[in-house]
Structure 1
Amino acid sequence: MSDPTEDQLVALGTAFETFARRYKLADALRSERPLAELDKAVLQYIADHAGCGPTDVARFLGVPTTTLSSATDRLVKRGFLKRERIEADRRAVALTLSEAGAAYAQAQRETYRRMYMLMLSRLSPDERDRFIAMITKIVYNDS
């Protein structure tokens, strides 16, 4: 397999920058101050794994526990996250979303869905399948 050409690298970079700008603009249209990308990822993980511990989230996201601690502090301050002590082990903490956090996570998922719909609607069904296959190959290739 040959290396990508300089023109291909520039074209890909331009496309990704435009996509990122559009995504950020869509996020900026929300009424409240947008969250940091890490904070959004934390919310989504906890939305899917209510009652999980901070170590679970840090491990899944591949971040140090100190970084996760800062993110959870920010989310608690914004009223999106609750920390609850586990009765069986008072040192352990369970993370759950508040009502506001659950609403934010759901709105975020809807924003993503609209973005995905916009992206895929411009392609034919065959192109969609090929595009998804290629993105999946890039994302999950461990080599």
Structure 2
Amino acid sequence: MEEQRIVDIFQSYREINQAFFQILSKAASKHNLTALQLLVLRVLHENPGIRLSELAEKLNVGNSTMSGTVDRMVKAGILERERTEADRRAMTMKLTEKGKALWRETDATRMNMMRPLLSMTEQDHRELSRLQNEVLRLLKQSKEEA
């Protein structure tokens, strides 16, 4: 019985995560991007001048996957690489003007597709946040004890 509670909690998060990813993928495809490229736009919007390894780490993908994605985005004129002054071998990335405009468009599309979430009451939203924080706290605690 206890195991079933764990499975139920895990399964509900899995289904929600899949639903969010489907919306993200659909929003990206409306702008001829992959879901990963849309996530790259978001991270570069929030962290201009980030290095490839940091970007890969933030998105939980390998450096080689990230490098291929970045190469395609550079060719498309969405982002650009720059050598750093401190270390001429190191490369940082930032969005081009085209990339910034694309981020604004894709973010608007994604937010519009998630607008139904606003039908939740404020009270339900607060309760959801409280429960998610509790799940996170318990899992972190379990991870530290392991």
TM-score (norm 2): 0.71
Matches within 5 A, 1:13-92: 21=22, 24-28=25-29, 30=30, 32-33=31-32, 35-92=33-90
1:101 aligns with 2:86: no
More helix by share: 2
Consecutive unaligned residues in structure 1, runs of 5 or more: none
Q: CA separation of 1:129/1:36 partners in 2, compared to 1, >3 Å: closer, same or farther?
A: same
Consecutive unaligned residues in structure 2, runs of 5 or more: none
Q: How many residues align?
A: 137
Identity of aligned residues (%): 26
1:84-135 CA-partner distances (Å, limit 9, x unpaired): 122332211120101111112222322333344321x222211111123334
CA RMSD in angstroms, aligned pairs only: 3.1
**Hey, what does 1:3 align to over in structure 2?**
3
TM-score (norm 1): 0.73
- Shift in Å at residue 62 of structure 1? 2.5
